[in-house]
């Protein structure tokens, strides 16, 4: 009897751990909500653009000695240096877009990694990275539409912190 009670308590703790500390999604500005929705929607395209840029403009990356987090707005000084080089305007736009795409990818992936373990995280991963529909999510996880909706709202509330971080990193002068 005690063992069964312990298992019930452990399941209850695991199920709810961490999610209550997230703020309400209504606390975010409309711009932050739009940016989050856009990043989630554009995630596959952002990844493809980065692969394209790395393949087609490899010389710029090698010349600048860029890798990993160096290609985000966390390294805005390096971006300014690169944009000051005598390269054509099209390459400058593409380089800026590459840094922007990498920063957006980092914000979304870091946010998703930070979600508390459990079903809500799995639902969010399946929705945002595997692009499953509500019906597919309901069938895969054996939950109701309301549970899927609740999981995504809570994940979004958490991800909005990373959107605020991303917006704070954006260069004010667009270089």
Could you list the mean pLDDT of each consecutive 10-residue stretch along the chain, which spans 175 residues?
44 42 63 93 93 82 66 74 80 86 91 89 93 93 93 91 88 62
Give the pLDDT of residue 12.
38
CA distance 26 to 44: 27
- Percentage of the chain modeled with pLDDT above 90: 36
CA distance 124 to 142: 15
> Which long-range contacts does 70-76 make (Cβ < 8 Å, 24+ apart)?
71/98, 71/99, 71/102, 72/99, 72/102, 72/103, 72/106, 72/169, 73/99, 73/100, 73/103, 73/166, 73/169, 73/170, 73/171, 74/103, 74/169, 75/99, 76/169, 76/171, 76/175
Give the pLDDT of residue 128.
94
Please enumerate in sequence order all residues whose Cβ is within 8 A of that of 122, keeping only pairs 6 or more positions apart, or say none: 141
Give the pLDDT of residue 48.
93
pTM: 0.77
Query: Largest Cα–Cα distance in the chain?
Result: 75
CA distance 132 to 126: 6
Give the pLDDT of residue 3.
45
CA distance 162 to 164: 5
| Averaged confidence pLDDT in the chain | 80
């Amino acid at each position: 009897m005690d063992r069964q009670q312990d298992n019930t308590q452990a399941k209850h703790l695991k199920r709810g751990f961490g999610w209550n500390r997230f703020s309400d999604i209504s606390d975010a500005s409309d711009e932050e909500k739009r940016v989050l929705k856009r990043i989630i929607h554009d995630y596959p395209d952002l990844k493809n653009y980065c692969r394209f840029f790395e393949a087609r403009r490899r010389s710029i990356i090698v010349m600048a000695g860029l890798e990993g987090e160096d290609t985000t707005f966390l390294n805005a000084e390096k971006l300014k240096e690169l944009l000051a080089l005598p390269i054509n305007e099209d390459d400058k736009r593409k380089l800026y877009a590459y840094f922007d795409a990498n920063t957006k990818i980092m914000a979304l992936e870091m946010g998703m990694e930070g979600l508390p373990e459990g079903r809500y995280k799995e639902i969010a991963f399946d929705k945002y990275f595997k692009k499953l529909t509500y019906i597919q999510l309901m069938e895969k996880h054996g939950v109701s539409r309301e549970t899927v909706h609740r999981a995504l709202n809570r994940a979004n509330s958490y991800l909005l912190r990373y959107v605020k971080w991303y917006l704070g990193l954006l260069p004010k002068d667009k270089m």
